[in-house]
Amino acid sequence: YVLKPKGQSPYVKVLDLNSFELDGMIYQYVRLKNMERYGISNNGIIFNFDDGRVLTQWIDDFGFYNAYVYSGKDKWKCKTHRLVYHNWVCPVLASQFVVFKDGDKSNIHYSNLETATKEQFWNLDSQMTRLQKRLSVMKSMSIPRSKVGLQEV
């Protein structure tokens, strides 16, 4: 639950110091470091403490979720997965990459994130690209489902 649905922005109900409710589900959160007006769940839902509004997120051309957060009059574009890792695991240096263990960029839970060096990142990225190409070739070569089924032998 990351992208804003059409229409009105959803709102959270803060239950206690570390949990909130959204659409009948209860999530754990922490306050963003250095931006205390925002909370972030362990799977990337960002909300504003001032009014309880969930921040709108979008997917960029590279498949990463992004959001704008404000500090005073400054507006910051942030990668959601980096915010999750920074606030739930440990601070991230600008030179570090935060990568997805399973390669799924929509799985932003902190347990699916880890840091990597530039070399590790590019190696992992090329491995995932090769795997995706192999899977698409295998799909194109597969037998149509209509011909596969229970057949008497």
**pLDDT per residue as tens digits for the range 65-124:** 999 999 888 999 999 999 999 999 999 988 889 999 888 999 999 999 999 887 777 776
Q: How far apart are CA 23 and CA 28, in angstroms?
A: 14
Q: In degrees rounded to 5, what are phi and psi of residue 110? A: -60, -25
Average pLDDT over residues 6-27: 82
- The reported pTM is 0.73
Tens digits of residue pLDDT in 125-136: 656 665 665 666
Alpha helices by DSSP H, listed for the chain, are 80-88, 118-141
Contact predicate 26/15, CB 8 Å: yes
The torsion region of residue 78 among left (phi > 0), alpha (psi -120 to 50) and beta comes to: beta
pLDDT band, very low/low/confident/very high, at 33 (cuts 50, 70, 90): confident
Per-residue model confidence (pLDDT) at position 134: 61
